[in-house]
Each structure stands twice: as C-alpha cells, then as structure tokens.
Amino acid sequence: MRATVMYSAGDVRIEKVADPQIIEATDAVIRVTRACVCGSDLWPYQKMERSDTGRVMGHEAIGVVEDVGADVRKIKRGDFVIMPFAFSDGTCAFCHDGLQTSCIHGGFFGTPEVAGAQAEAVRIPLADGTLFSLGVHADEALMPSLLTLSDVMGTGHHAAIIAKVKPGKSVAVVGDGAVGLCGVIAAKRLGAEQIIILGRHADRIALAKDFGATDVVSERGDAAVEQVRALTGGYGVHSVLECVGLEQAMNTAISIARPGGAVGRVGVPQEQTIPGSEPAFYNNVTVGGGPAPVRAYIEDLLPDVLEGNIKPGRVFDRTVGIDGVPDGYRAMNNREAIKVMVKP
C-alpha cells in the first residue's frame, strides 16, 4: 500500500510500504476512508532529525474494518469506525477514568513504534478499546466532521473542559489553527457567553465568528493582554483555551485569565517548563491539560455532529489524495491551508 513517510524536517514522501497485518490477536486493520494532517505533525516537519527508516505519519482517521484478530469481540469486519489518535485497551484504571491517553497498555499512532494513518490502511492495536464503531455506513457529507472526532474537535473540547467553560462565562481561545477553531465550537456548545479569539488570519477569524466567537484580538503579547482586559471590564476571562504550545502563547494565556480562572492547554508544549508560573500563582489561576482523551468524548460530541448542531468539519479547507500529502504539509506549514484532509 501507499503511505506517508517522514524522513527528516521538510522531507515527507509517499512510498510503497508493506500492507498492515494483524500482529496481535487484539488488532484490527482498517481501510482508511479519510485521514488528515495535524498541527502537531508540523513540529516534526520543522524539527525532525534524519531517520534512515522514516516514520509513517498520521494519527487521525475514519475507515472501514477490513480484518480483525481472533480475540477482537466488539469490532466487526465492515464496521465504519473512528480511530482516536491514541490506542487504548478500554479496561485499565485510566480508561475507566476516561483518560485513555494514559492507558497503561496504550500508545500513539504515527510514532516510530506504531505506523500512522496517512496511508491506505492502518493496523489498530487493542481494537475493541480503541475504535468507536458507527455501524456500517455514514453519510458522505458528514465524513469531515466525523473525522474531527479522532482528534481536533475532541482536543478543542478537552481544552474547554479543563478550562472549566460554563454557561454565561467568558472564554478566550489562544490560537486560530484548527484546534483553536474547534475550541470556539466547544466553548459555544458549553454555553459560554463571550468568546474572544486571539488570531490574525482573516479566513480563520471569519470561520471563528461563524462558530460563535464574539470578539477578535489580533495583537500579540502585552497588546493582546490589554485588549482582552479591555473587553472584560479589566478582569480577564474565566476560561482560556491554549491551543498553540509556544512560550509566548502560554504567557498570554495566563495573563488574560482572571483571578481564579483556568487555562486548558492542548497545544503541544515546546518548552520543558510552564511559562507564567508567577502570575499564575498570584492570581490563583489553574493550569491544566494535556493530550485529549478523545475516545472518551466521542459519545458526547457525536449526537451534535450527526444532528448538524456543530460542523467542525468546516476546518478542512483543502482535500488531497495520498499523493498530495507532502504538498498538504507544505501548505499547512506556510499557513496557506487551515487543515488538510486526505482521501486515500
């Protein structure tokens, strides 16, 4: 089959690789219906050291089950499934707590250990725990939004949950990438009254407003902090969704939280320490977050996707075949595309 292999920063190739096979009796193999490129794929795209073997990329997909191992009980051949970006057994203490990204037998797709989904097919470890079956088919028009439940929409929702978004409260979303945009959807869905998006790309801002953003702040640093304060009676917001991962974004996030507020961070951090420790301390700001347990959120979010109440699939503004994936990375990295969908 054909798959996306990254060899080093900027070096993404489409290559013929071995078809995925059942290795463990708890595995499944799915034929990928849709996959996509994640903002977090851009970190290795910018920084990865050269690897001779390369890494099959991609951790977001929906697809159809082609094969299951002998011990797979719930998932069946022909099932149409959502593949969360982390695999999990569904049975350990952390899976029971709804934190499948910390599953004691779990791990992540698109890593050196487990091949990714920007490919024609993918092997799914612990299929019964990992996959969410949607039955046998789904409406073509719903595919993009269903795909977002594998990561980006669940991640935006996680930021909102950790930031304690509540009805009637004020929210700021730091970052206008696909996760930030889904964070706006999540904040609106959870009843926030004021939603301030911090971003500067006209197309993304327009989409954020469609999704429910009430205010836009396009400055950065101190100017952004001042603007958010001005929009919130001088206090700052109750909840901040940090969807970037860079030091400046985190400093801004903490500075715009009102005393007693919370920051939900889902941007993959690029530093070893959390910036803004002192202002967070003196303002009693709660800082939390991490990889979103999207597997736990599918059940919550799916009805609103199926009923069309939320349309997170609108974050995809470009669709490519498998051969177009390297150009998709380039386009996302150059901010020419918000998020690229792959139709193998």
Among 86, 95, 115, 207, binds Zn ion (CB under 5 A): 95
| Rg (the chain; Cα; Å) | 20
Residues in region 259-298 near Zn ion by CB under 5 A:
none
Q: Which stretch binds Zn ion (CB under 5 A): 87-95, 192-200, 220-228, 327-335?
A: 87-95
What beta strand segments (E) does 268-309 contain? 286-289
What are residue 236's DSSP bridge partners? none
Q: Minimal distance in Å, beta carbon 344 to Zn ion?
A: 29
The residue whose two tokens read 């945009």 is 181
Among 4, 26, 88, 251, binds Zn ion (CB under 5 A): 88
120 in Cβ contact with 66 (< 8 Å):
no
Instruction: Quote helix, strand, coil % in the chain, to nearest 5.
Output: 35, 25, 40
Total residues contacting Zn ion by CB under 5 A comes to: 5
Q: Is 26 in the site for Zn ion (CB under 5 A)?
A: no
Host H or E run for residue 174: strand 170-174
The residue whose two tokens read 């929210």 is 171
Non-local CB neighbours of 258 within 8 Å, separated by 6+ positions: 170, 232, 235, 236, 237, 238, 283
Instruction: Map residue 23 onto helix, strand or coil.
Output: coil
Choose between 48 and 92: whose C-beta lies nearer to Zn ion: 92
Choose between 79 and 89: whose C-beta lies nearer to Zn ion: 89
Q: Minimal distance in Å, beta carbon 297 to Zn ion?
A: 16
Choose between 94 and 235: whose C-beta lies nearer to Zn ion: 94
Give the ranges where 119-201 is alpha helix by DSSP (H). Answer: 127-130, 143-148, 152-162, 178-189
Q: Minimal distance in Å, beta carbon 32 to Zn ion?
A: 24
Question: Cα separation of 220 and 7, whole Å?
Answer: 34
Choose between 40 and 88: whose C-beta lies nearer to Zn ion: 88
Residues in region 99-118 near Zn ion by CB under 5 A:
103
Choose between 89 and 242: whose C-beta lies nearer to Zn ion: 89
Q: Minimal distance in Å, beta carbon 95 to Zn ion?
A: 3
Among 41, 60, 79, 89, binds Zn ion (CB under 5 A): 89
Considering only CA atoms, which of 184, 172, 179, 176 is closest in space to residue 252? 172
Q: Minimal distance in Å, beta carbon 234 to Zn ion?
A: 45
Residues in region 163-202 near Zn ion by CB under 5 A:
none
Residues of the shown chain interacting with Zn ion in the complex, contacts defined by CB under 5 A: 88-89, 92, 95, 103
